[in-house]
Amino acid sequence: MKIAYQGIPGSNSEAVSVLFAQNQGFIAPEYIPAVHSKGVIDMLRTGQADYGVMATRNLMAGAVGESDNALSTLSHRVIDAQWLSVHHCLFTKNADSSFDTIASHIQALGQCRNNLRTHYPDCKLLEMEDTALAARMLADGSLPETTAVLCRRNAGEMFGLHLVAENLEDDSRNMTEFVLIKAMHMISKTVIVAGLGLIGGSMAKAIKKNTDCRVLGFNRTRAVAERALAEGSIDGIAEDGDFADCDLLIVGMYPAATEAYLREKIPLMKRGALAVDLVGVKTRIVESIGPLAKEYGVRFTGGHPMQGLAHAGYERSFADLYKGASMILVPTAATLPGDIDELGSFFRSVGFGRITVAGCEVQDHMIAHTSQLAHIVSNSYVKSPVSTNYVGFSGGSYKDMTRIACLDERVWKELFIWNRDALLPEIDDLMRNISQLRDAIEREDYDTLEKLLRAGREAKERIDAANPDQPSD
């Protein structure tokens, strides 16, 4: 059993790799230092390692960007996760060495920022690929003796360095989360993307760019599929005979067309194949397609990519549309154990930064509020006769409020009506809130108006306080 870890011998990742191996009951594991997260991913991708270990986030310094970027390039499954208490020590080459630079990984420097600023205010900070690597480089002369390194105590001692100070982390509760991952290879598998507009076209391009999958495309206007083929966005145009070999079907058409297409094509697919729709509301399609897919042995899961542009069409599609975006996955009657993990890993590999799993009701109620209501407001707001004359009278607010009025009415009429049970109460609440503001303005009721405006500001502040990593502004 080969485990590639982010770092070199003496690093935190090596220490936690041993814990993972014990937890999993691995027999005679071999630990392979990969220095950085990308190295771990490369070893998993090429089969040089069976498992990978890397740091993903720290309680004080937040997400490890290096690992996030690396993980987004590989379809993978998280097997285990461990929080490790991390204590940082400062070492020099010799007992009498003076230093003007402190070298370490960016995360370690961030976790000790205040203490370093207080005790070593004149020192420059030098970012390294790994804490233990910094220690080794100081020991072998790759770093000048005027450098001190921040690392684990055992790493500094391993390389014969002199301990200057210990427990330099700003918070003694400092902990880092490490994950044990396994590659989920979808290499050489066949993916059919049906509907090559902005959403489906970008999906096809992202899969082509980031995976080794064979991508076939379908579009009701065949000229669009032919253009996608000519540009290399797909490897071929999907025909009925291709569905027997399809491993994953992704449908990004209009809602009613998606439902009809899945009903037509699922019976043609091989048992055990995966299917995902990209419709923005889920209850109707999940209830309609889930039982059918289960009948034919196709593993169907609802999907909703939370990304788009004001204008649609294949000509506006691009491979990085989904970079860092959220992908919502909705289990159905035909979703099997492990499907969510497999699909989540796949969509991360094509660029998505977050996978959100939700039931139909939760998804549709949240989307009614966060997306559909915003489109209702924008569509209503822009109809004012004075809007045409906005130039010279607007800052960013007008553009923010009107951008999504450029919707495709053929899509959104279906989405609104399909989700009317969740959307209508949101519209009613909005109208009540606007009416309260309107009435206070009409009455010139300064006190009430101030209270209503304060309530809105405080609501926004509570929302942002509850989501510090994802502010809604």
Query: What does 302-315 look like in DSSP terms, one character per residue?
Result: EEEEE---SS-SGG
Give pLDDT, residue 294: 96
Backbone dihedral region of 385: left (phi > 0), alpha (psi from -120 to 50 degrees) or beta?
Answer: alpha
In the numeric block, the tokens 């490369």 are attached to 42
- Enumerate the H helices of 83-197 as residue ranges: 106-111, 113-119, 131-139, 153-158
- Rg for the chain (alpha carbons), in Å? 27
Which helix or strand (DSSP H or E) is residue 76 part of? strand 76-85
Q: At what angle do helices 255-265 and 409-418 cross, to 10 degrees?
A: 80
Q: Given the DSSP bridges, would you call strands 274-277 and 89-92 parallel, antiparallel or unpaired?
A: unpaired
Q: Are the C-beta atoms of 87 and 174 separated by less than 8 Å? A: yes
Task: From the options 1.10.3660.10, 3.50.50.60, 3.40.50.1950, 1.20.1250.20, give the CATH code of 366-442.
Answer: 1.10.3660.10
Alpha carbons 388 and 213: distance in angstroms, whole number: 47
Q: How far apart are CA 289 and CA 269, in angstroms?
A: 14
Contact 200, 228 (CB under 8 A): no
CA distance 392 to 398: 11
Same fold across 2-86+179-183 and 89-174 = yes
DSSP-assigned letters across all residues of 367-383: HIIIIIHHHHHHHHHTT
Q: Supply φ then ψ for residue 163, to 5 degrees.
A: -75, 125
Measured at the CA of 244, the angle between CA 242 and CA 249, to 5 degrees, comes to: 70
What are the tokens at 422?
């969740």
Residues ≥6 apart with Cβ < 8 Å to 411: 254, 255, 312
The architecture in CATH of the region 190-358 reads 3-Layer(aba) Sandwich (3.40)
Task: Please state the domain extents for the chain.
Answer: 2-86+179-183, 89-174, 190-358, 366-442
How many CA within 13 A on the CB side of residue 133?
18
Q: Report the SS3 class of residue 125.
A: strand
Q: Which helix (H) or strand (E) holds 431?
A: helix 420-442
* CA separation, residue 413 to residues 256, 374, 408 (Å): 11, 14, 9
* Residue entry with tokens 């419709």: 279
DSSP state for residue 132 in the 8-state scheme: H
Residue 187: what pLDDT?
Answer: 41
Residue 438 zone, left/alpha/beta (φ > 0; ψ -120 to 50; rest)? alpha
The structure tokens listed for 213 are: 């999958």
| CATH (residue range 2-86+179-183) | 3.40.190.10
Interatomic CA distance for residues 395 and 393, integer angstroms: 7
Q: Can you give the pLDDT at residue 471?
A: 61
Q: Which of the 8 DSSP states describes residue 389?
A: G
Q: CB atoms < 10 A from the CB of 6, how many?
A: 32
Write out residues in the chain with pLDDT < 50, as ranges. Answer: 187
Predicted pLDDT of residue 349:
85
Which residues contact residue 271 at a Cβ distance below 8 angstroms, ignoring those fewer than 6 apart?
A: 296, 297, 298
Cα separation of 41 and 33, whole Å?
Answer: 12
Asked if 25 contacts 149 with a C-beta cutoff of 8 angstroms, the reply is no
Q: What integer pLDDT is reported at residue 60 of this predicted model?
A: 73
Query: By CB neighbour count within 10 A (0-12 exposed, 13-18 middle, 19+ buried), where does 293 fall?
Result: buried
204 class by beta-carbon count within 10 Å (0-12 exposed, 13-18 middle, 19+ buried): buried
Determine the length of the chain.
473
Query: Could you please report the per-residue DSSP string of 233-253?
Result: SSSEE--GGGGGG-SEEEE-S
Q: What single-letter amino acid sits at 22?
A: Q
CATH of the domain spanning 89-174: 3.40.190.10
Residue 104 token pair: 């370490």
